[in-house]
Homo-oligomer: A and B are copies of this chain.
């Protein structure tokens, strides 16, 4: 249901096409969630069928149209409902920690490479999320501006604050992952450096 929630949330500020949503999700701005077009387009159709969205064919050049989706009152109700319904957190399923727990089976190079990738990944995302927080605080982000324009001024501080809070949560996660990967690299050097043996080497 997260995809549906995210779509409703983005469409609550103004109508957009599937392609618009794809850009927002996948590349530029809203780096909390993502989805490929193969998931977005069918979901928009289903949401329209469920009465959460209304679609309009708008012209595009002389011989073509595109579908713009507008949130309906029912869609806004559903957005409020999903935002307000507390869902119990899921049990952890953590593939990184799982893999680390059985690192004795890994080659030195494989283990090292995994942590190098981990470090690079979360370092890059940390920077990206930091940029988002700045764009939100300064209220220069274009998607945020459209959102604020669609809501009364007395809500603006809350809207900005909760988004900053969300991205700061992602930044905290990234910092944790970076520190963990650095400790991982130390472990690799300690146990898989020259002159050591590991379960990996006990081949049949």
Contact = CB atoms under 8 A, between A and B. Distances in A.
Contacts of A104: 151, 155, 158-159, 162
Interface centre among A88, A151, A162, A191 (most CB of B within 10 A): A162
Contacts of A109: 84
Contacts of A122: 89
B161 A187 contact: yes
Interface in A163-181: 163, 165-167, 169-170, 172-173, 176, 179-180
Given A86-B113, A159-B104, A197-B155, A169 B204 contact: no
A18 B109 CA distance: 33
Given A121-B89, A176-B176, A79 B100 contact: no
Given A32-B98, A158-B199, A165-B187, 9 more contacts: A86-B113, A86-B114, A98-B166, A101-B162, A103-B162, A104-B162, A155-B197, A155-B199, A172-B179
